């Protein structure tokens, strides 16, 4: 490697692939394109856009992301078989800079799944990496569950992949099993002992099952890895993946001991974090590093006193470094369209005129009900209004009767495919009654997996952001809405999820994942 390569750490974002595979985090086609564009603009080097063989929907998303990409390399994932690799290439070949990422599980547990012995798997690796390289000159190969693979066998297959033409070797800690000292040592030994290792890039892909994903990724860099695979907000299966914002800011803040740089515009971190949280339905925990609501909050008297005297006493980075507005200017009912546009721009949102008009109308409605409209309120309004799939089902009128004496009753009028329908329903509380009313007007078999309420700001007039997750025949969708009335927000989130479910139904299950090891051949 050149000295320049050693100083530069490549950021490989897999929010749209590994992150989107997290149960309930499935995004719509339009949302995938939007997130990909935001990743490209913030300087992500490589975007793993999806798993093209998984479904027609995944293929179409990867293909269109490849066509719209400007600077980022667009990567697709493929299992170790020729059909997967061909499908992957068909999707990514439209990019200015395409990459094929192919993988196979090499640990004893994973070798048992396709029932391959060591020699058979080695032959499979040589065949598939060679095939991928004949299609594309940028090929990444991963030995899945590498951290639980026997050392001698890991060395053997890494050498095979390099000789077959892989330009990047990714070492995945697939189940979050390793520790930082092991992560660094594993990369270091591979570079030192595998022939040809000094001519390619080593990558690290860590999961957070033991809470060490960020530490393991940074340790791997110390060991010689020059690509980090990560996701926005640490989204991903089980406990998630290495969080992009954490590794990027760690490298930026602690450049004294980690002298590496990335190409990420860190000022765009907060905006994409909020958007990913909104479209995935996975709220960011308050104490999440870098992007959590409390990441730059100070309540302790000692901390507040220190901050007033010198912000550096208790802050190792500035809020504006990650795109958090330094001031939280309050908007009100007298604020105009131009002020709203300027404020949203400061928050990272540049809306088209029709989108701004829609947000402005809802902003005025909110300002009439809520004396002070804060940044968080505006973000909730934008996120609740950017999805355009809520067309077949719409809530027109909702009135709820509740109290200690009961019964809790909801009177609901909905527009369903253009026709108004009304009903009344009771339930165990106002939200249950409302959901029962929706189901009476629009019968369905979808199961509510998650119902989550969070206050956007403080005070009794605060907006509530409600997220719901629903499942029907293996299809998982999320819905989100915000309102000062928690029941209204709940109803809209529920209907939002149903609208997304209708879109999935119309695709006749195209987005339902059906890939498995049985297909590896």
Annotated binding site for Mn(2+): 18, 205, 207, 241
Q: What is the distance, to the nearest Å, from the Cα of residue 51 to the centroid of all Cα atoms in its chain?
A: 15
* DSSP secondary structure letters along 366-419: HHHH-S-B-HHHHHHHHHHHS---TTSEEEEEEEEE-SSS--EEEEEEEEETTE
Pick the closest to residue 184 from 166, 161, 206 (CA basis): 206
Q: What is the three-class DSSP state of 324?
A: coil
Burial of 119 (0-12, 13-18, 19+ CB in 10 A): exposed
Give yes or no for a contact between 484 and 366, defined as CB atoms under 8 angstroms apart.
Answer: yes
User: Are 260 and 248 within 8 A, CB to CB?
Assistant: no
- CA-to-CA distance for 151 and 199, rounded, in angstroms? 21
Closest to 28 measured CA to CA, from 354, 387, 505? 387
Q: What are the beta bridge partners of residue 229?
A: 12, 205
d(CA 243, CA 236): 9
Per the annotation, binding residues are 18, 205, 207, 241
The answer to whether the peptide bond before residue 451 is cis (omega within 30 degrees of 0) is no
441 contacts: CB under 8 Å, gap ≥ 6: 412, 414, 416, 421, 422, 423
393-401/46-50 β-pairing: unpaired
Measure CA of the first residue to CA of the last residue in the chain; give whole Å.
35
Q: What is the torsional sign of CA 329, 330, 335, 340?
A: positive
């Amino acid at each position: 490697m050149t000295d320049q390569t050693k100083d530069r750490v490549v950021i490989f974002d897999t929010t749209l692939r590994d992150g989107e595979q997290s149960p309930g985090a499935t995004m719509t086609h339009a949302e995938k394109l939007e997130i990909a564009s935001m990743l490209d603009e913030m300087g992500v080097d490589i975007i793993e856009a999806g798993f093209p063989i998984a479904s027609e929907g995944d293929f179409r998303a990867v293909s269109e992301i490849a066509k719209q990409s400007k600077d980022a390399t667009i990567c697709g994932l493929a299992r170790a078989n020729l059909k997967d690799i061909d499908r992957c290439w068909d999707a990514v070949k439209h990019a200015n800079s395409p990459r094929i990422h192919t993988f196979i599980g090499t640990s004893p547990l994973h070798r048992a799944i396709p029932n391959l012995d060591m020699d058979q798997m080695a032959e499979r690796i040589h065949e598939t990496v060679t095939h991928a390289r004949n299609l594309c000159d940028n090929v990444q190969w991963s030995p899945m569950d590498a951290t639980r693979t026997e050392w001698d066998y890991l060395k053997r297959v890494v050498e095979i992949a390099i000789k077959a033409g892989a330009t990047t070797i990714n070492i995945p800690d697939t189940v979050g099993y390793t520790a930082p000292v092991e992560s660094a040592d594993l990369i270091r030994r591979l570079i030192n002992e595998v022939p040809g290792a000094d001519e390619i890039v080593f990558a690290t892909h860590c999961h957070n099952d033991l809470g060490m994903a960020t530490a393991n990724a940074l340790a791997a860099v110390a060991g010689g890895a020059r690509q980090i695979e990560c996701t926005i907000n640490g989204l991903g299966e089980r406990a998630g993946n290495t969080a992009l914002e954490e590794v990027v800011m760690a490298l930026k803040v602690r450049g004294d001991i980690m002298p590496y740089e990335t190409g990420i515009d860190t000022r765009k971190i907060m905006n994409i974090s909020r958007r990913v949280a909104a479209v995935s339905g996975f709220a960011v925990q308050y104490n999440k590093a870098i992007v959590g609501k409390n990441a730059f909050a100070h309540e302790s008297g000692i901390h507040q006193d220190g901050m007033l005297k010198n912000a550096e006493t208790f802050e190792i980075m500035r809020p504006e470094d990650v795109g958090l507005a330094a001031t939280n200017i309050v908007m009100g009912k007298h604020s105009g369209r131009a002020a709203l546009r300027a404020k949203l721009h400061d928050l990272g949102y540049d809306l088209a005129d029709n989108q701004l008009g829609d947000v402005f109308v809802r902003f005025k409605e909110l300002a009439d009900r809520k004396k002070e409209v804060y940044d968080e309120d505006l973000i909730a309004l934008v996120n609740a209004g950017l999805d355009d799939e809520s067309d077949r089902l719409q809530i027109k009128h909702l009135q709820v009767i509740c109290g200690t004496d009961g019964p809790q009753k909801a009177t609901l009028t909905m527009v369903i495919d253009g026709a108004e329908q009304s009903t009344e329903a009771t339930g165990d509380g106002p939200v249950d009654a409302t959901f029962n009313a929706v189901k009476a007007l629009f019968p369905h078999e979808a199961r509510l997996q998650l119902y989550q309420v969070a206050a956007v700001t403080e005070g009794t007039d605060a907006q509530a952001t409600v997220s719901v997750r629903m499942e029907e025949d293996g299809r998982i969708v999320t819905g989100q809405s915000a309102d000062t009335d928690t029941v209204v927000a709940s109803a809209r989130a529920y209907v939002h999820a149903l609208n997304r479910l209708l879109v999935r139904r119309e695709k006749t299950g195209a987005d339902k994942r059906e890939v498995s090891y049985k297909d590896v051949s």
